[in-house]
Amino acid sequence: MRCCVIYFSQTGNTRQVAETIQETLAAQAGSCALVRLEDADPLLVERYDLIGLGAPAFYFREPYNVQKFLEELPDHSDKPRPFFFFVTHGGTPGAIASRISGLAARRGFVALDFYQCLGYDTYPPFASRVPLSGAGHPDLQDLKNAAAFAESVLNKARIFVEEHRSEGCTTPNGLLNRAIAGMFSHRALLRHMRTGLLPRKNLFKESCTKCGLCAEQCPTNVISLDPYPVFREEDCIACYQCERICPERAYKNNWVPFKLLTGEYLRQLLSKLFHGQKNPKP
């Protein structure tokens, strides 16, 4: 069976899980391709019998670049194709599982199963937490579970292909998760950045060395140098990778409104009062 694992990863959490699943599938099926989402054309899936997709949870849902990829898959409604996915998350995965399953189903891809595990969270407003959300994950047990998942999903795929049947998979689909995820749709994220609920990119040119690292590592290529970083916001996924990786800390983004809304300041205060923990400046 020809297999392919496509993944989106910024900090390496999802990549570790993707590599484990790919290695297991390659050993069990004879071969398995591993492709970064940034390098994947949706038509790539036509070459394979089994497609896997990995992504981190952003704002209780799939990142916009993952959503776009799923929406642009070739339509196999007339001849359903087997599909699986896996998710890493720093806190709650929210509605990402049900959303990915639903987006794939609209293009005729049947989700046989999914896997999810913790991954350490480096999202800037939460990066000073002690301990860091998801610290130490994915760990060896997470990766062992991912390997077992890969073996299981390959067996399900063989049954799907040979016997034309599938039990499908049940994904968490709570009303609250769906409601919160809806508040962070791509359109909503762009609105939040315009209004300041999420910070606008605030670059201190005095600190910027024009190294281009933010442009190079932007997952949706919305940053260009002219000669300082310039942003094309319409495809921005609000990951703030640019702020996180800047070696000069040239991005001075205002996270106060977002931290107030999410209760982060209250969480820090309660943590300090009841656990004696201090949150150092990032």
Q: What is the pTM (predicted TM-score) of this model?
A: 0.92
Within this chain, do residues 165 and 236 fall inside the same structural domain, yes or no?
Answer: no
What phi and psi, each to the nearest 5 degrees, are found at residue 104?
Answer: -65, -40
Rounded CA gap, 38 and 9, in Å? 10
pLDDT at 173: 77
Q: What is the DSSP string of the chain?
A: --EEEEE--SSSHHHHHHHHHHHHHHHHHS-EEEEEGGG--GGGGGG-SEEEEEEE-BTTB--HHHHHHHHTSPP-TTS-EEEEEEEEESS--TTHHHHHHHHHHHTTEEEEEEEEEE-----GGGTT-SSPTTTT-S-HHHHHHHHHHHHHHHHHHHHHHHH-----------HHHHHHHHTTSHHHHHHHHHHTSSPP--B-TTT-----HHHHH-TT--EEESSSEEE-GGG-----HHHHH-TT--B----HHHHHHHTHHHHHHHHHHHH-------
- pLDDT band with cut points at 50, 70 and 90 for residue 273: confident
pLDDT at 276: 60
Q: Which domain holds residue 190?
A: 186-275
pLDDT exceeds 90 at position 54: yes
Give the pLDDT mean for 229-247: 94
Rounded CA gap, 264 and 254, in Å? 14
Choosing from 120, 145, 175, the residue where a domain stops is: 175
pLDDT, the chain, mean: 92
pLDDT exceeds 90 at position 267: no
In a domain, 10, yes or no: yes
Question: How does pLDDT run across 58-100, given as a tens digit for each residue?
Answer: 999 999 999 999 999 999 999 999 999 999 999 889 999 999 9
Within this chain, do residues 45 and 142 fall inside the same structural domain, yes or no?
Answer: yes
- pLDDT band with cut points at 50, 70 and 90 for residue 165: confident
Rounded CA gap, 25 and 150, in Å? 6
In a domain, 280, yes or no: no
pLDDT exceeds 60 at position 121: yes
Give the pLDDT mean for 183-191: 95
Within this chain, do residues 169 and 269 fall inside the same structural domain, yes or no?
Answer: no
Within this chain, do residues 135 and 268 fall inside the same structural domain, yes or no?
Answer: no
pLDDT at 275: 66
pLDDT exceeds 90 at position 133: no
Which residue do the tokens 């300082």 mark? 228
Choosing from 149, 175, 201, the residue where a domain stops is: 175
